[in-house]
Chain A
């Protein structure tokens, strides 16, 4: 039986996650507990939508560094709106958050797709721009839990279902829905396959009649929409929103995506990988804060090393595969 390299990559990633969990369980007391499961899953749930959106953008050979600021702006504006109109339907609130995020993503999308400004420049600019808008707009006022409607405050504790004594929260289910929906779309929908087409070979995509500017635009809008969802979950989880909300999320999302096996040169990657990558990055993050042997200040250093290791392994591996491919005929392109 021949295993597809992409599948192999996912198995390796899963084993890395398992090894990480086993390692920390020997280091931290009562680590393998339902409480820890809830802690990590609810924390990963806030990052996951952002990582899913980032994955789409990276697939098209771009990058979105502005999402940390987008999450912050969305959390703040949505919280403020709820303080004034607390009786709004929860579904509409989530929709509002995603709409604000989508509008911010559209700004990036227009500049990258039609302004032909490289995404790194655009999103480095809007990262600063959105954040300074938030600082200015908030006028140093904080959104507090007290001003939010009760259903939102209760949302993070709400259980969707329990399995083997582990509680799966509603926020986790919401985040997983975004990943599953995108995963299904990417494998089943013709329109979503265009993200791969544009990323793997932009010239060929254009010749095949794909409007690649539009595809890139849509990727950025979706990244904004999903950052909006993350902003909504962030608001629910923390309740108190200051101007630093979501700071540094873009780096965690890039880490999750790259560790999850989405190729940084575009054209490949799977949502299963992104989910495992997010959980792995977040598990390390959450575990380090409780690990007495090593100071929690090592978190960022380890995150950087993890990204570097993942990228290096991927680059070396894909080059090896490329060499085999030359000998045995073209590999079937088939990301999960």
Chain B
């Protein structure tokens, strides 16, 4: 157990160093980087992804995955655009979009927790299907013209200098952090992720825990989709496409084991900060969006590969 804690600590230590490097790198590249408004903008540019990453953390610690999050975001955003364009009230449309998220989560939960089909396949099929529904709704158009209060809520500060989405992120971070690390439900998530069989034999309702997690994921993804629509002011059929790459990278770089059972919110927060600063730094040095995506891809693989290689190295040294 001590070894495990030490390892987690050391991973978080590495993350802290990486974060400081990217952070001071940004200050060095652009001295005006350190203003509060810039820091808020930094979060705002990827706010939808980092909110979803928090729930994804719980799902991956539970040894499952949800590849459908970006499509649920896209579907929610497109449904919102479709309804407001067709004369619905924006508030009513929002409620329906959140409902869509819950339905999506229920569908995933039923197939994964009850029908016991691997989450990889279920959520991959849902990735295709929900994106398809989003396309059906908006076709090849761009739908905007939201009421002013919607875009205001999506783009402007709500309390002090902080916009709504950033406040939601902070609340979700603290709330889910407490849920994971301080409650019985959180322990159940970890135990199931470590060994689902053992969890079942010790009387944990595995299906119930998984159901709750996928419902949360659907709901939060739909909420993130709404925030995305409100921030950009219009939606297209490809809204949020490919976001799952960034989201899963944030979680795994944060030291969450892809095999389940291990990970902390602190690690994920550090990795979110690293990726935000890294993207900002790359933008400052005129590295285009496509290379940025490639770098994220490398980061994703490295965040699993390096701990594996380190474990091999330790094992070999222990044997010698």
A residues neighboring B (CB under 8 Å):
63, 111, 115-118, 120-122, 124-129, 131-133, 135-136, 251, 254-255, 258, 264-265, 295, 297-305, 307-308, 311-312, 315-316
Stretch from B146-154, B275-283, B304-312 that touches the partner = B304-312
CB pair A132–B293 under 8 Å, yes or no, is: yes
By a CB distance below 8 angstroms, the chain A residues around B244 are 124
CB pair B300–A312 under 8 Å, yes or no, is: no
Most buried by B among A121, A251, A299, A302: A121
> Which residues of chain B from 198 to 243 have a CB within 8 Å of any chain A CB?
237, 242
Residue among B133, B136, B259, B308 making CB contact with A295, cutoff 8 Å: B136
By a CB distance below 8 angstroms, the chain A residues around B1 are none
CA distance A131 to B305 in the complex (A): 21
Q: Is B16 an interface residue (CB 8 A)?
A: no
CB pair A308–B297 under 8 Å, yes or no, is: no
B residues neighboring A (CB under 8 Å):
65, 111, 115-118, 120-122, 124-133, 135-136, 139, 237, 242, 244-245, 248, 252, 258-259, 288, 290-291, 293-294, 296-298, 300-301, 304-305, 308-309
Question: Closest CB-CB distance, A327 to chain B, in whole Å?
Answer: 21
Query: What are 14 A-B contacts defined by CB distance under 8 Å?
Result: A118-B258, A120-B65, A125-B297, A128-B242, A136-B294, A264-B120, A265-B118, A300-B131, A301-B135, A304-B131, A304-B132, A305-B125, A308-B126, A311-B117
CB pair A308–B136 under 8 Å, yes or no, is: no
CA distance A264 to B131 in the complex (A): 22
Q: Contacts A304-B132, A307-B125, A315-B117 known; A125 to B301 CB distance under 8 Å?
A: yes
CB pair A297–B297 under 8 Å, yes or no, is: no
By a CB distance below 8 angstroms, the chain A residues around B305 are 111, 115, 117
Chain A contact residues, majority secondary structure:
helix
CB pair B300–A304 under 8 Å, yes or no, is: no
Q: Contacts A254-B124, A308-B122, A311-B122 known; A136 to B291 CB distance under 8 Å?
A: yes
Q: Contacts A111-B305, A116-B308, A118-B258 known; A300 to B294 CB distance under 8 Å?
A: no
Residue among B129, B242, B290, B308 making CB contact with A308, cutoff 8 Å: B129
CA distance A196 to B50 in the complex (A): 40
CB pair B132–A303 under 8 Å, yes or no, is: yes
Question: Closest CB-CB distance, A117 to chain B, in whole Å?
Answer: 4
